[in-house]
Structures are given as C-alpha cells and as structure tokens.
Structure 1
C-alpha cells in the first residue's frame, strides 16, 4: 500500500468517525409546554390512565391557576391538576428519559401512568425526575397534582407579591444515554483570573444508569466567544452501576481572556463530551464567563480589578394578564428595559427567578443578585396565613415547624445555586429579605439559619460571596464572615457600617402611570450621593407587580404592570443612561382629539410556538396629525384570523380607570399594552378598534411546527377577566404590628439611646430625645400605604405627656389625628382608634413638653387599595 492510498484511507476513516460522532444529537431536549389538560380543584384518581379528562380545560404552559390575572390582591388558593399525553417512540428504547420542571408553585406530585414519580415542595426552583422506569412504548399519561396552599414550615411564609399556583415555567423532556451528564451537573470556574490570563476548573457530575460499571473518557473543551477552542482537558474514568460522581478537570490556562463586563458581556462555552471508544454517549454545552469580583468595606465594589458602582432595580417576576406565567422573551424585555434606563444591576426580589432570567442578564450584560425565598412581611407575627393576609413573620414561631422550615430554606437555596452557578452575571447569592420581621422568640433561630445558609453556600459555591438581604435590623448585617450587607429603606441613610455593603432598596414612586418626572429618592434630586464605601444603590422597584398587600404596594415600579414606563423611568434614562446631571424632562402627551389608533409591537415574529417567545403589543392614541394624546377611551384588541392568544383569549378590552369602579385592564395617558403569544405556527392578524375611530391592524408571524392549519385551526377559549374574591375569613385581632422594625427618623437622640428602640417590639426599651431639643419629633415610615385604624404610644414613664400625632401619605402634607398639646393627665400609654386616614405611609409624633421619649409606637391598619 503506497503512502497516497494510506493517507486517503485515514482521511475517509476520520470523516466516518466524525460522521458517527455527529450524525444525530446524543442528547435531546423536547419542549412540553403545548397541549395540557387542566382543572381547578382536587380530583380523586386523576393520576390514573383510565381517568376521563374530557371535560377539562385545554391549556398551554407556562400557566397559572389565576389566568388571567391583573394585579388584584386576591387569588385562588387550593389544588389544580394537569395531564398530558406523551408518546414514546421506538427510538427511545435503551435511552434515559427524564422530565424537567423549571418551576411549580408551590407543592407538586408527579405521576406517570398512575405511578408516583416524585414530590417537590418549593415554588421557585426547578427539579428533574427520571421517567425511564415508568415509561412504556406508545401512549403515556403524565399527571401533576399542584397546590398553592400556605404552609407554616415552608419558605416563604409571606411577602409583598402574589402566590398563584400552577406549572408556571417551562417543562422539558431530556433524552440521553444511560451514561450521561447529570441535570445541571457542570460547574465551570476560573480559580485564578486577571486581565492577562485565566485558569479553569471543570466539575462534571456524571450518572451511570447502566446495570454494569462503565469505562469512558471525559473531554472538556473551552470555546472562546469567537467560537475557537482555546483549551481542553481529557481524562479516562470508571463509574459504578446505578451511581453518580463528580469528576474534576483542569483545562490549560489561557492568556488575554475576553472578560465578561456589562459593557462587553463576553461568553465562553465549555463543551463536555462523554465517549466510549468511537461512541459519544453525551455532549453538553455550558455557557460561562471570565470575570472577578471584589467587595470591600471602605472602597465599595470592584469588577475585573476596577471600581464599579452598582446602579440597579429590584425586579419581581409577574406580568399583566399572564401573572407569574411569563415567557423567556418577557423576562428578556424586562432586563433590557432596566439596562436601557441606565441600570447595570438587578436584584431578583425576593425568590429564585426563572433560569432564563439569569441567562438574559449574562447575554445583555447586567449584574444580577439572585435571592432565596426566605422572607416574611412586616405587620404581622405568629402563625398567620401570610398569603391570605400580608402578615406572617419570616420564621415559624412553633417549634414543631422549625426544623422542617430550616430544611425548606436550605434545600431551595441549594437548588437555586445548582441551577444558576455558571452564570457570570451573578455577583453574589442573597440569603434572605428582611429576616428581622419575625417574633422576638425566633430571633436566635432566624440568625442560626442565616449562618447555616451562608456556610452552606460557601461550600456549594466557593467562588462568590454571600449577601444578607434586608439586614438593617437586629444585627443581621454583622452575621458571619465574607458577607455583604444589603440595606433596605432607611439603610440608605446609614453611615459607613464597616462591612461590605450596598443599598438594596431605596425610595419608590408609588403611583399609577404616568406619575411624575423624579427618581423616587430625595438624595438623587440634589446630586449623586455615592459614598466611597458604598457598593451601590438599587431602587424599589423596577416594575409594578401583583401583591397580597393591595394596590398601594403594587404600584411602586418605574414601569407599570403592562410594561409601559412611568415618567420616573425617563428620569433615570436621562440621568443614568445619558449621564445628564440635570435631567431634562421630555415633552409628554397632552389631551387632544383622538383620531386614530397607533398599533405596534417590539417585534412581529414569534420564534417558536412553544411558550418561550411572545410579542409585546403597544396601543397609542393619536390625533389627526399622528401626535400622541393623553386621552383615555375604551380600546379593544381582537384576533381577526390566525393562531395566538391574549391572556383573556382571542380579544382583550382596555378601559379608562374610573373612580366608581376601577378597571384592572386599563388604558392610561393614551397608552395600553399587553403580551401576545401563540402555540401554533402561522400568520395572525390583530385589530385594534375604538368607537368612532378607524381600526388599525398588526400582523404577527409565528415560526415552527405545528402550523395552525395542520392542527385544524383550533379556536382559543375565551377567558373573561374578573377579580377573584377570596372566601371570607374570621377577621384577625388587630395586632398593632405595622410599625415593628419599620424605618424611623428623629429630630435628635440622647446619649446611649437609639431611635430604633421606639419600634423594636419591646416595651422595656426606649428612645429619648436629646434634653436640649425643645422641638423634638419622631417619625415612622411604614414603607407602603395603609388605611390606619389604631395608633398606640407607650411612654418610658408615667407622666404628663404633651404631643401631637399626625399622619401623611407623601411626607409633605400632614393631618392631625390626635392633639394632646394641653393634656394635664399623667399616663404611661395612649391609644386612639377609628378611621385615622386612608393611603397613609408616614406617622409623626411632635412633642410639646420637654420630656420627649417613646418606649414603643404601635400602628394597626390594612393595606390600601387605590
């Protein structure tokens, strides 16, 4: 055989090997969002294959029990069932088949063909089950029993958001070889990194579901943002049958890495290949970035060795109409909106977000603080249902619940980290939000749990620091080591705390759109107050959101629930994105004569009919010249032809808000918007109509399969919106707990005293004004709007106390609710009851006599619905 022939044979052998390795995907991911059957309520034997589900509603995922939902304070709490048929083809024989749920709120039981596959508790983290033992060729019935009932021993126990049930995130099937990379089983880190070089550590968890031990090769290739392989590692390993193990590799260091930064979000890939001889059993790609962070107590935050001031917003996960059941595209728009107005940071308030959220932060270039679901809500204590009323402390007071609650917090935290740990945008893991909102009897248990969480996080991810969210009370900011203190509310005014820190919540705008052209924090109006030691500042909050706390808490966003910016968003765009130290106010629409309807969308193509993509449709009222006007008239969107749906079905009606009966689906300031999605491919024509105006149309094209025509042109069921009225519960005793641990402000403080002692929940401690202060006052910020019905003052001594109690909604205009200027009665305690004001956020006590001091201020009331 001559040399030329040998070279030719080798060449063709190489081609054959490459063809064998790449002829078909060794790992398949199948989207399961389309074509489920659903019913509210708990149904006996609904997991059985013989069960008749013909009367159930046809739905698609992501889906919520509350669909359609428009920021109302109450939602259904109870059970719901989902069923879907899965066809097993012959090609799956000998494969491993698993199902991944990215999120079900809050407790789920999964069945296949009547057999229990698994149970998961925790509403914000994903999980994966092996279906292989339960599958059979042909038709299989996947059934999921879901409930969103409050549980005393499950985190979170309460919070300022909504708690709708459902399979509200994406669902996927994974088809792999029995020898494969485990779910979320890769972790790529850069132990040593600088601007000139970077080293790599690749941890890969491999699962062997064969009946015998397996020998194999693991190859990890590092691929640059330009698509070039820049480093690799290859090792030969053995794994016992029915087991999994983490294997560690160290691909060679590289020089001049392309660093990840919000201004240049460079992303690398680690391609993990498992091979047995010429057979590839699995190939998995992991996206990551090369960068490094540093937090200091005196100089703030550093990114890639350079000082970087964090400017950001808190972001909740729900959208108008769809509630928590948001597409990946919807999250991406949210992140882009925050970046477009000049923010470089998002805090994921206050629970783990969808995996696509972190992915979009990575790709768009915005730093991200994910947060675990460990929080409660001010204004309550004991074991109250925090979803029926916004009033449960963050930690259970009953000892029998406490160990299970600890496990709930830690388990969800571990899942959060495992799912998101490769994301370069994640700057630190936040353990909590305002954990000080808890009974005094649970303070030590709460702190012990935070210490367990931080210690565990350093084990699960030793590459990042840990943050304590809302740490401004009870010494929470000083827990542990290598931690960042997040200060909410009055934390913005703290002096240098001596630990790495940032303001994780400041200000709020608290208004329906359009609002006013201002930042929501007085400090920003007079300049950019950025102390050298502060790591950054994050506004409360980015978007309006649904909440059990009512409208007063819901409308604190820079952008409204329908994803139309308020005027405050434009302030930040001028000040931050454009760098204008004196922000210039744009010209706003004025009242005019509507002559036509502007109809537009962020894009006119939906990439796939599977619930991962959608379009954001915007309505604008225009005058005859095409200029926007601020008038508010009814406008209707309708699907004239083709596939697709609004949250309300094939049409949606926007109404002007009215004082008599507020419409939750509103047109305000001449604009309205909604998200539109399709579960079939094809062309959709949407019409906007209003009485007396010519109609406008918009064409949306959805790509992929199946087509609407091939499916028989199915009609979308109408889902008329109506507010959910929760069953009446026994009214709770007025606990006067709204003031506990809320921010307080004073005219002065005597030596060895503190303003926080006046609303710490302890009558035995007290704040005293400085003796020289002849016009002393104490002021409380409830941090949200309430309709007040009781105020109680407890004084340090029995004496004649002369004072005035005032309340305010805006910290500017004050209403007197009790005038004791001329009192001559000695008293230790004073309480007033009745209607003390609607939409109240601030309470002020001004002292007339010289003995100014307070042991405790107690406030009672209910969240405002504006």
Structure 2
C-alpha cells in the first residue's frame, strides 16, 4: 500500500503562539511543522513520480536529513545523478483560508518541487534554503510532495570545484509553514543596533510583510524586544497600508535600550524581537527573531575590535559532513561540533566554504563563537578546464563566455539568500565572498577581480552593518577587492601588514591519522607568537574536522578531530594551550579484555531528525584502563528504535573506512520513533558493554509493527575514471611555497607563477638554500621541470615527502645544463607525495636563482 502520512499539528522549536493579552491566549497564528519523517526515496530519474497516484511501495523509506551516498566514509568518489523523494501529507479543512509554504533549509543542488503532479517551484544552489508557496496546489485530504533532485556538475552553477565532496540529497530540515494571508515573509526581519555603545543603543527593525489577500488593508506591526528571561525591554509600533498580493517593508526604530547586555564569546547573551501583525484587534501573525547587542570594528593597523575592545580571535575552519551520514547531519550534531571547537579554547569558526545550516549560526550565537560566513564561490587545484564531472578540477570561474552570466547570477543568488537567512545572527562578524577563486581557467582572473568588486558592492547594499571579506586571496591580486583579506597557507608570511584588515584564514593543513602528534601544526605561521602581529585580526586552523573530499589519499585527514568526532592529539594541544587543561595520558598497547560504551547524552529530543547521540566505544584491559589495541568491534541495536548510517549494526575495523584506531571508535546514532533503545558493543573474546538511549516523542516504536530499519551495508563507491595525460597539467601552479630564505622582491611564489621572467632567490648569506611547494593533494609524480635563468648552472637535488617531515630523493639533475636553462627530470619512483623540495649546493660565486618549477603527475588513487 502507498504510504500515507497524517501531518500532526504540534509546535516544534521555532514554531510558537504569541499572546498579546489574556483574551488572545492560545490563538495560533503561525505553524512551522517539521516534515523530516517518512519520505520515500530512490536513486535515478522517474518523471512519473511527480503524480499523486504513482506507486512508490518498492521505494526506500528514508527520513531527513538524508544524503544520496549514505553510508559515506570519506570516499573520493560518490553517486552523481538524480534522486527522487516523495512524501504524502494530509491537509485539513481548517487550512482552507490559510497560506501554506514549503521551507527547505538545503537540498544539493538542483531541485524541482511538485505538488500533486504540478510544478510548484525550483531552486538551484546546494547550500542555501528556499521557500515555495504551495497553497494553490493543495486540496483537502491526501496530497503528495515530490522532489526531483540532482547533484550533477554544472558549468553554470556555483561551486564548480573544491576540496570537498558534493554528495546530493535533502540533507537539511524541511518544514510546512502555515500562516494567515497577511504574514511576515520568509526570513523577513532584519535587525541591527545602530549607534550602539556600552551605555545603550536603539534597535532598528526592517520587517517584510506580505498581504496575499485579494484586497488591500491597513495593518499594524508591533515589535517587542524581550531579554533572555522573556522580560519586555522596549516596544515599537507602526501602521501601514499594503496593497493586495504585494509585500511592503516596515521600518522601525525603538527607543534607546539602556546598558544592554552585550553579546560576546565569553557572554553570548541573546535577546528576541517578537513581531506581531494586527488587523485592528485581530492578531494575524507572530514571528520571533533572536539577535544580540554587539558591535565590531576592523582596522588595517590594529586588527579586530569587539564592543570597543581589541580582540584577537583564534579558531578553525569547519566542514559540515561527518562519518556515515555525509552532509546529512542533525541540528544536535551541529551543536556538538561547534561545542567541540569551543571546548578546546577557540572562539572563532570560518564556515568553509559555503553557507552553513541555520542551526550552525544559531549554535555559534548561543555558545559564543565568532563566525565567518562564506559564500560558495570556490576554486581548487586541477587542470582548470571545462569538464562534465566533479573530479577533473574545473576552474572556479567558467572559461566559456556563454556560461559566465549564468554562473555570476548563481553566485549572486546564493549570496542574497545567505545574507537573508543568516543576517540576524550576532556571531557572524563578516560576509566572505569566496575561497581561492584564483584557481581558475586561463584568461578569467581579470573578470574574477571585477566580479569580486561587484559582489562587495552588492553585499554592502544587502547588509551595510557588516564588512566584506575575500577568503583565500593569497594569489591573483584579489586581496584588496573587498574590505578584509583572508590569507590561506603561505599567505600568512607573504602578506605581512598588507595595509587592509586581514586574517590568516587557513594555516596548518596537517595530515594526521588519529591519534597523531601532540603538536599545533602551525605550518607557514611558524608559531602563534610569530603570528600575532598588532595589525592582524585573527587566525583559523585548517581544520577542525576530517572531511570527505574528491582529493586523493589521506588529504581529508587534516582535522584536529577525526571524521567520527574523536579528538586527535592536536585538539588536546590546543586545549592545553588555550584552556590550560592537561592532555590525557597516552594509551599504550595492552591485553584487551573489555569494551566500554559511552554516549554524549542518553536522550534524543524528538523523532523528527533534528537530534542524535554520539556513541563512543573504548577498548580496555581487565582493570578498565584504556589501551591502544584496536580489535574489530561491532555496535548492534539489541532492542528498540533507531539506526546507524549502515542500519541496525555497524562494524569497526582497523583496516576499514569504518575504522577503530588507538583503541577507540565512534559513530552518531539517530531515531525517528519514540522509545528506549538498547545498543550493545561486542568484540570476539572481550566482555561486551551496552547503553540505553531514550528517544522522546511520537510515534512510539512498537516491535513487530514499526517499519524495519533499512540495512545499508557499506561499499566504497567507485567510478571508472577517464584517462588523463599526466603531463598536461602543471600541478605546482599556483600552490603554496616556502623557501630557506628570500631575497628582497624574490619571494618563493615567483618560482611557480608561470612567468619565467620572475624568479626566487635566497638571501646571499643563505648557505643551504632550498625551495619547496605544497601540491595540496597526494600525487604520484612522473616528471619535474626546472627552469633557471639563461646561462645559469646550479647543483641541486629534488626530494619528495608525504608529510613535510620525512624526505627522500627522486632525482639529482646533472650537468651539462641545456642551453635554454630548463632541466627535465623524469621520475620512476611511484611513491605518493604531497610536497616537493629543490635543494641547492650553494656557490658563493654564483648565487642561486630559480625561475620556474613545473610538476606533473596523477593523483595517488588513479
């Protein structure tokens, strides 16, 4: 039988009833109903699935958030194509005169929405939400919502490339929103605090109100500002006429609020604006917006200021995905992620490299984390050519002129949506336009510079209260196209005191398999002390968590916390440095005897997929002391509801993508039915352990009646790759460089800039000079070409390394040198490497010069 779902009208977080007087108590004006549960899904393209009568009995029962590739464990390849979702909803007669909208918080990335077989709307862009009014398509009784979604590469949509995975799916929450015809529009409030000081300030509110009646009307908009305890602080009202089927913006300015509690990472205090719309004495809508009183200032000479005081922030970059579930993480998991970064003493997150979930911004608000929110205009290494897939390394900006206007509009649309959705969050201190867009096709960097200036102007128009950053701007002369420069990698040392406000937006990039080394991994910053210049605003480690990526080998293992959310030793280093909490004693090899199973909490709050539990299993000896032995361990649901990404069981092994390392494994568990679940950890020959997790809410789990959890055995996804000429792409351009020293005006980056007229040159006092490039992926190098100035001859060796610590030679060029100064060095050693170094035997009579280095190869998993 076709699955039919009755939508139960209960208020969820974010939905509420607001009463202006005792006589109005309990009057429902707006309902925001989570519909994450009970969808049907199937990979592939099924155009007839839009119809109400379509038979989806054999489709998979799934719950949101959902990803095409679940279970996913950092594969460099993933399913690309179409997927269809279907859900039945029951519409009551009580909604006859109401407006009903569908709100998606994120669907990657080309979505077409159908209601009862009719097109309802579409959305292109995987990282921003959207709202579609479906009132005119609904009927009383059974209705079907169908979503046709694809995650295919598209030359005209952002992003075109990036060091991440681009798995598809409805991976964020979905809501039905029911309002009266006159209501606040989707994310329709914009709140600022102009002229704020410690003594006081006013609240400016712009509220977009829609009148979907067939007649005009005069309506009153009232905004109450309340503190965290619900106490009224101030209030303001306005009255305005709204024509039929139009929207207007009410502009309000409250009286001064005396000595408000200022939002700060050490005191993340939040207020609420409660907006109500009245037709005389009739309440039509009520809408809440959280915000904070705080002001920021960025300077070129003195760095960043928060609430009038200098503030140097320290943090990390964060991707959204995690083990098993890929991008489809719950709001509870998002809060846990933000808290893990906070718990090591950091106070800043760069939301790399796309707009994050609204729950992410809210978590930063409530936990006290400064947030760099970034649009998804993104580049990465590769051949920078037009392609038809995610894996070939297309340029950040289209090379084909016919694609460029569409792409630019895609970036601007994403920018508008990002700002509208996130603009009221006090944690957000800047809007970033991009990440490393200088990785682009030949001849497009000039247009990128102009485009970034256009995006900066547009952002100032959309939100004059925040400055604009250019993220990853260390190449291409793009750092001054915005207000703030974000330098990645070697930009930390190439752009010292650049004359504009600046941040080290990425440093470190330390590949480490847990537990890893007890070290900060400063990379090009050398040390924290060396990085805190008076003009620099802050710094962000690359990165907080391991992530899935199209890059090869271990390139996604750069987090201070692993993909399963277990800290590495690097996380403990930062916690000790910033919070002075000593690291735990390193575990050692022992005799395995028992398992210990722990949870971050024992309760899942609700059955709608917005919360989960992190399970951690530890191997111990007979005394209960943790040890580093890593035998195979299985977690299984003994009784009750719930699921792992793989179904009712998940097996960890040291040689698996689902790994146990250093005697510890972890995974998140979620449930869509109320009741108690018993989870057991077992390993052959060891004493088992179990925990009880209770899921609150309805429907309740009934053994033998509740649908069985789908078993999803893990198989690493692979595709047949096209053969690529590994000598066609110079993988050293324009990657981060380092050198033993640099003469004035002869910096290391001049040796991989595709310009043989420029060159790197060490200081004259450098007696052991070397030049190095980070290829930013793991490659099997097949050829190296060294270009020296004409008639110059130098004795040098070429070495490679996977970790920037252990080096071995691949070649030693010999004289005689070619007349054109170019040495071609074939490489027969097939050892994967990320770093390449050219070392010189210095001659005091012939100072070293290196004009250009070209490196050719293929990714290690080809």
Q: What's the TM-score bracket when you normalise by the shorter of the two chains?
A: over 0.9
Q: Is the 8 A contact 2:595 2:688 kept in 1?
A: yes
Which residue of the partner structure matches residue 336 of structure 1?
339
C-alpha contact 1:33 1:171 (8 A) present in aligned 2: yes
Q: CA deviation at 1:775?
A: 4.9
> In the alignment, is the contact (CA less than 8 A) between 2:813 and 2:823 conserved in 1?
no
Q: 1:296 aligns with which of 296, 299, 313?
A: 299
What SS is found at the alignment partner of 2:789? strand
CA distance in 2, matches of 1:180, 1:524: 54
- 1:812 Cα deviation after fit: 3.3
Confirm or deny that 1:501 pairs with 2:502.
yes
Matches within 5 A, 1:376-391: 376-385=379-388, 387-389=390-392, 391=393
- Correspondences of 1:596-607 after superposition (within 5 Å): 596-607=594-605
User: What is residue 490 of structure 1 aligned with on the other side?
Assistant: 490
Q: Report if aligned partners of 1:589, 1:629 keep a CA contact under 8 Å in 2.
A: yes
RMSD: 2.0
Secondary structure, aligned partner of 1:571:
helix
The residue aligned with 1:614 is 612
CA distance in 1: counterparts of 2:507 and 2:389, whole angstroms? 24
> Aligned residue for 2:112?
109
2:786 to 793, 809, 813: 793
- Cα distance in structure 1, aligned partners of 2:502 and 2:20: 55
How far the C-alpha of 1:853 sits from its partner, in A, is 2.6
Match of 2:800 among 790, 803, 807: 807
Residues 345, 366 of structure 1: 8 Å contact kept: yes
Q: Shift of residue 742 of structure 1? A: 1.4
Following superposition, the deviation at residue 798 of structure 1 comes to 5.2
The answer to whether the 8 A contact 1:517-1:585 is kept is: no
Among candidates 538, 541, 545, match of residue 539 of structure 1: 541
Partner of 2:7: none
Answer whether contact 1:811 1:842 (CA < 8 A) is retained: yes
Cα deviation per residue 1:415-448 (whole Å; 9 max; x = unaligned)? 0000000000001011111111113400111111
> Judging changes above 3 Å, is the alpha-carbon distance between structure 1 residues 385 and 44 closer, same or farther for their aligned structure 2 residues?
closer
Give the counterpart of 2:229 among 226, 239, 248: 226
Change in CA separation of 1:431 and 1:215 when aligned onto 2, cut-off 3 Å: same
1:316 corresponds to 2:312: no
After the TM superposition, which residues 331-410 of structure 1 pair with which residues of structure 2 at under 5 Å, given as runs?
A: 331-385=334-388, 387-389=390-392, 391-410=393-412
CA distance in structure 1 between the partners assigned to 2:745 and 2:518 by the alignment: 41
The structural deviation recorded for 1:824 is 4.8
Matched-pair contact (CA < 8 Å) for 2:456–2:481: no
Q: What does residue range 657-668 of structure 1 map to in structure 2 within 5 Å?
A: 657=655, 663-668=656-661
Distance (Å, rounded) in 2 between the aligned partners of 1:608 and 1:333:
17
Residues 612-761 of structure 1 mapped to structure 2, 5 A cutoff: 612-657=610-655, 663-709=656-702, 712-732=705-725, 734-749=727-742, 752-761=745-754
Q: CA deviation at 1:844?
A: 1.7
Is this contact kept in 2: 1:30–1:174, CA < 8 A? Answer: yes
1:447 to 432, 435, 449: 449
Deviation at 1:829, TM superposition (A): 2.3
2:382 alignment partner, SS class: coil
Please give the per-residue CA displacement for 1:481-522, whole angstroms capped at 9, x wherever unaligned.
xx1111100122242112111111001321111101101116
What SS class does the counterpart of residue 441 from structure 1 fall into?
coil
Structure 1 window deviating more from structure 2 (831-840 vs 188-197): it is 831-840
Partners of 2:624 and 2:763 in 1: CA distance = 62
Query: Once the 2 structures are TM-superposed, how far is the Cα of residue 203 of structure 1 from its aligned partner?
Result: 0.3
Q: What does residue range 26-65 of structure 1 map to in structure 2 within 5 Å?
A: 26-65=29-68
Q: Secondary structure at the match of 1:260?
A: coil
* 8 Å contact kept, 1:378–1:737: no
Residues 294/837 of structure 1: CA separation in 2 closer, same or farther (3 Å cut): farther
Q: How does 1:450-469 map to 2 (within 5 A)?
A: 450-469=452-471
Query: Secondary structure of the equivalent of 1:339?
Result: helix
1:769 is displaced (CA, Å) by 4.7
Q: Which runs of 5+ in 1 are unaligned?
A: 1-14, 658-662
* Counterpart residue number, 1:418: 420
Q: SS in structure 1 opposite 2:332?
A: helix
Q: Following the alignment from structure 2 to structure 1, what is the Cα–Cα distance between the partners of residues 515 and 766?
A: 42
Q: TM-score, normalised to structure 2's length?
A: 0.94
Does the 8 Å CA contact 1:790/1:836 hold for their aligned counterparts? no
**C-alpha distance 846-834 of structure 1, shift in aligned 2 (>3 A):** closer
Aligned mates of 1:16, 1:514 — CA distance in 2: 54
Residues of 1 paired with 2:689 and 2:740: CA distance? 59
Equivalent residues of 2:817, 2:823 under 8 A apart: no
Does 361-370 or 436-445 show the bigger shift? 436-445
Deviation at 1:16, TM superposition (A): 11
Equivalent in the alignment of 1:98:
101
**Contact 2:152 2:389 (C-alpha < 8 Å) held by counterparts:** no
In the alignment, is the contact (CA less than 8 A) between 2:377 and 2:396 conserved in 1?
yes
Aligned to 1:174: 177
Shift of residue 771, structure 1, vs aligned partner? 6.4
Q: CA deviation at 1:712?
A: 2.2
Q: What is the distance in 2 between the residues matched to 1:524 and 1:686?
A: 45
- 1:337 is paired with a residue whose SS is helix
For the residues of structure 1 that align with 2:445 and 2:457, how far apart are their CA atoms?
18
Q: Does the aligned pair in 1 maintain the 2:19–2:26 contact within 8 Å?
A: no
Cα distance in 2 for residues equivalent to 1:385 and 1:497:
39
- 1:392 CA displacement: 1.9
**Per-residue deviation, 1:770:** 5.5
- Distance in 1 (CA, whole Å) between partners of 2:572 and 2:742 is 39
2:788 is paired with a residue whose SS is strand
Cα offset for 1:76?
0.6
Unaligned runs of at least 5 residues, structure 2: 1-17
Output the CA distance in 1 between the equivalents of 2:65 and 2:859.
Answer: 30
Secondary structure of the equivalent of 2:274?
Answer: strand
Measured in 2, the distance between the counterparts of 1:734 and 1:610 equals 51
Cα 1:863–1:24, aligned 2, differ >3 Å: closer, same or farther?
A: farther
Task: Give yes or no for contact 2:19–2:27 (8 Å, CA) kept in 1.
Answer: no
Distance of 2:75 and 2:860 partners within structure 1: 12
User: In 1, are the aligned partners of 2:70 and 2:325 still within 8 Å (CA)?
Assistant: yes
Q: Does 1:249 align with 2:244?
A: no
Q: Distance in 2 between matches of 1:760 and 1:777?
A: 17
Superposition deviation, residue 81 in structure 1 = 0.4
Are the counterparts in 2 of residues 272 and 284 from structure 1 also a CA contact under 8 Å?
yes
